[in-house]
Amino acid sequence: MKKIRELRQEKGLTQNELAQILGVNQTAIGKYERGELEPDIEKLKVLSNFFDVTVDYILELEDDFGVRSSNAELSSEEWDIVRSYRSLNPACKDLIKSTLGTLLSNASEKRKDI
């Protein structure tokens, strides 16, 4: 399950750190990442919540970030922004959401002036 490795590395975690989060040993994480072993449903739920992705994404049943359709409307640049956002801590995510809200509000006000 290369998605587990990718998600772990995006968060800057070692295999041992992820193992502690899941309550397994480092060997299990290595086996998950090589596809030699699949996490049970409870471990998949923890991974899903921790990395903020769907279980289907972890299992590689969906494409990037839970989009099942192959005709997703995001450009590669937009996907890069989504990936970057997902790697941030919650405080940074809140700051971005707040800033985006302000920008959208300002843009809406300017459209009313036209």
Express each pLDDT in 46-65 by its tens digit. 999 998 888 888 988 876 55
Amino acid 25: pLDDT: 96
| pLDDT band at residue 2 using 50, 70 and 90 as cut-offs | confident
The H or E element spanning position 54 is none
- Coil, strand, or helix at residue 87? coil
What phi, psi does 67 have (nearest 5°)?
A: -90, 115
- Coil, strand, or helix at residue 82? helix
pTM over 0.85, yes/no = no
Amino acid 66: pLDDT: 53
How many angstroms separate the CA atoms of 69 and 2, rounded?
21
Q: What is the mean pLDDT of the chain?
A: 86
pLDDT tens-digit readout, 86-109: 888 999 999 999 999 999 988 877
Amino acid 82: pLDDT: 83
**In the predicted model, is pLDDT for residue 67 greater than 60?**
no
